[in-house]
Amino acid sequence: MSQVALNNGELWSSLRRRTQARIGLGRSGSALPTRHRLELQAAHAAARDAVHSPFDPDAVAAGLTGMPTVRVRSAAPDRLTYLQRPDLGRRLDATDRAHLPVGEWDVVFVVADGLSSRAVHEHAAAVVRQAAARLPEWSIAPVVLAEQARVALGDDIAAAMGAGMVVVLVGERPGMSAADSLGAYLTYRPVPGVTTDADRNCLSNIRPPLGLTYEGAAAKLVALMGRARELGVTGVALKDESDGVAPLA
């Protein structure tokens, strides 16, 4: 093996240790080496499993240590319909809407299965607990556990419950490097059917140790919530200035 090839191999090995991206995989003839092809197939299978695995609200509720919860469904009656009709995942089931508690809450946290129930099962409860612990003066509504839910379902929930702000923790679309990534979407005074993604702030890739930590996500989220209440806006008008916010002691 030439010194150039050896150096290139060491370079790619060094780079691969620093990223989950599939880089410098080499080739076997005109195809990927067998090992990397099998790894790619396994990642694809994990992504499919994340999308299709059923949501377990009991598991999430068990991780919320005493916080009250309420369960709802979107207007999508099953997983196939949810995947084929994103619009139904943005609207509450009419019966479930009627059973939501109403109050003068500052914020409601919504834990939604989204496109990765695995991400929600593994990370959502810890983020809610960390964020709630940083909000001792806020009136927090019962945590809503939402099945077959898209991000905008939080608008419908907040409006129905009378909450001034909604945080939707949702399983993000699985990629070929991560099937367990959780997103947190913050919206101030959402209006169903009117609020758009430009009106939201998003924290993405919450999945320690390879992504944002629970403490880091909660610190950024609570800082954004405080600024949102102060300024009366979220989305493109609200910038994340939380770098350097210390974790909760």
DSSP strand pairing (143-147 vs 69-73): parallel
Owner of token pair 């109050």: 103
pLDDT tens, position by position, for the chain (249 residues)?
445 444 566 777 777 676 666 676 667 777 766 666 666 555 555 555 556 578 999 999 999 988 999 999 999 999 999 999 999 999 999 999 999 999 999 999 999 999 899 999 999 999 999 999 999 999 999 999 999 999 999 999 999 999 999 999 999 976 556 778 999 999 999 999 999 999 999 999 999 988 999 999 999 999 999 999 999 999 999 988 766 454 443
Provide the pLDDT for residue 6.
Answer: 46
Provide the pLDDT for residue 180.
Answer: 87
* Domains of the chain as residue ranges with CATH: 52-237 (3.40.50.11240)
Structure tokens at 197: 């993604």
pTM of the model: 0.81
Provide the pLDDT for residue 179.
Answer: 77
Strand order across the beta sheet in which 69-73 lies: 69-73, 143-147, 108-112, 165-171, 182-188, 200-206
Structure tokens at 50: 């994340």
Provide the pLDDT for residue 170.
Answer: 96
Provide the pLDDT for residue 246.
Answer: 44
**Distance, first Cα to last Cα, the chain:** 54
